[in-house]
Amino acid sequence: MAMIRADELHDTLARQVPALVWIHGDEPLLALEAADQARRVIRTAGAEERCVFEVDRRFRFDDLAREADAMSLFATGKLIELRLKAKPGKELGASLAALAPRLSSEVRLLVTSPRLDRATTGADWFTAIARAGLVVAIDKVDRGALPRWIGARLARQKQSADAATLEMIADRVEGNLLAAHQEVLKLGLLCGPGKLPPEEARAAVLDVARYDPWALAETALAGDTGRVVRCLDGLRAEGQPEPLVLWVLADAARTLHALSSAVAAGRPLAQAKQEARLFNRQREVLYERALRRLSPQVMTRALQQAAGTDRIVKGVEQGDAWASLLSLALLIAGSPARLDVPSAA
């Protein structure tokens, strides 16, 4: 079969139900919806019996293999689910790769897991699984795509909204896709079909946005200064530790500086990105755009700002740590509006 995106799952399963479907990703809502979709199709194809295995300390692969080999006396087919809480080890992966091709036509295996890194998806055993089955990667819905995602969900319940209303909803649910889904369903109940009145939508949608330091760094790299301020305010209100926020921003500043220095020295950008371990294409694009936007002087200033912020966070120097973090984030975003703090000489 192949490796596909979640939005391709329905059409792919309509053509053929493979022996194994593996869904991986870090968006619980979308992963759950994809798994439900796979279950429905597999049940429709005749899998009346269902067995679930959780991979924990008590899990034994031999138990799963025996279940896969055992024919049901009363059902026409069987769905076996394997739920992983972390990426699989080599031994489990190799066992699954060996099992998939020999599953009978009456047995289907559904595997769910957190997002798999490139080292895992590039392993020989995983390549064998992709050939024998179907791998579905659940991508995160980034902030830029969130209004469109909300609009599509509203359309499912015969509603629509103008661009400003979609942006407002996105601001209030950012970083919390399950809450976004719940707010869309609530709008369906409160407002009915048709175009949403902006004021009614504003009154109905709660502010349930969640932020994390990595989202702040990505926002800064993208150059979105308005969202940088909102995100940092959200992190402060949620009580995120200052050292963690600093570590993430400083790591972005160091990576930018390293990439810039490598290119200035005449080394290929692709090699520099590999050395910086930018194995995620979305992160690569963010750094590439930031490199085009920022001068080497600004990147050096960001490193100095990070050093000065570190001294404030540790209490070595006086200052407002969150104001200093904002200054650092805005420097990475390329904004001239920043708050100066003591920097390393």
> Could you read off the pLDDT of 285-341 as tens digits, one per residue?
889 999 999 999 999 999 999 999 999 999 999 999 999 999 999 999 987 544 443
Residue 142 has pLDDT above 90, yes or no: no
Q: What is the pLDDT of residue 279?
A: 64
Residues 212-219 have a mean pLDDT of 89
Q: pLDDT value at position 1?
A: 57
Nearest to 292 by CA among 327, 250, 266, 259: 259
What is the pLDDT, as a whole number, of residue 144?
A: 87
Within the chain, what is the greatest distance between any pair of CA atoms? 77
* pLDDT for residue 155: 96
Structure tokens of 25?
């990703």
Which has the higher per-residue pLDDT, 209 or 244? 244
Does the pLDDT of residue 18 top 60, yes or no?
A: yes
Mean pLDDT for the stretch of residues 91-115? 92
Contact 130, 2 (CB under 8 A): yes
pLDDT for 230 equals 87
Q: How much is the pLDDT for 113? A: 95
Q: Measure the CA–CA gap between 173 and 249, rounded to whole angstroms.
A: 23
**C-alpha–C-alpha distance, residues 157 and 136, integer Å:** 26
Query: Does residue 344 register a pLDDT over 80?
Result: no
What pLDDT is attached to residue 340? 41
Domains of the chain: 2-138 (3.40.50.300), 143-204 (1.10.8.60), 213-333 (1.20.272.10)
Q: pLDDT digit string (tens) for 154-185?
A: 999 999 999 999 999 999 998 889 889 999 99
Q: What is the mean pLDDT of residues 257-265?
A: 90
Structure tokens at 19: 């022996």
pLDDT surpassing 70 at residue 73 = no
Dig out the tokens for 97 from the structure.
């790769």
Q: What is the mean pLDDT of residues 191-218?
A: 88
| pLDDT above 70 (res 59) | yes
Predicted pLDDT of residue 341: 39
Per-residue b or e along 56-73, where b marks 16 or more CB atoms closer than 10 Å to that residue's CB:
eeeeebeebbeebeeeee
What pLDDT score does 280 carry?
67
pLDDT for the residue 342 = 37
**Between vectors from CA 96 to CA 94 and to CA 97, what angle results, nearest 5°?**
60
- Residue 125 near residue 90, CB atoms below 8 Å: yes
* Mean pLDDT value of segment 76-100: 92
pLDDT surpasses 60 at 13: yes
CA distance linking residue 241 with residue 28, whole number of Å: 25
Would you say residue 52 has pLDDT above 90? yes
Is 60 exceeded by the pLDDT of residue 61? yes
Contacts of 215 by beta carbon, 8 Å cutoff, 6+ apart: 143, 175, 231
264-300 pLDDT, tens digit each: 888 888 888 888 877 667 788 889 999 999 999 999 9
User: Residue 343: its pLDDT value, please?
Assistant: 38
The reported pLDDT for the residue numbered 338 is 44
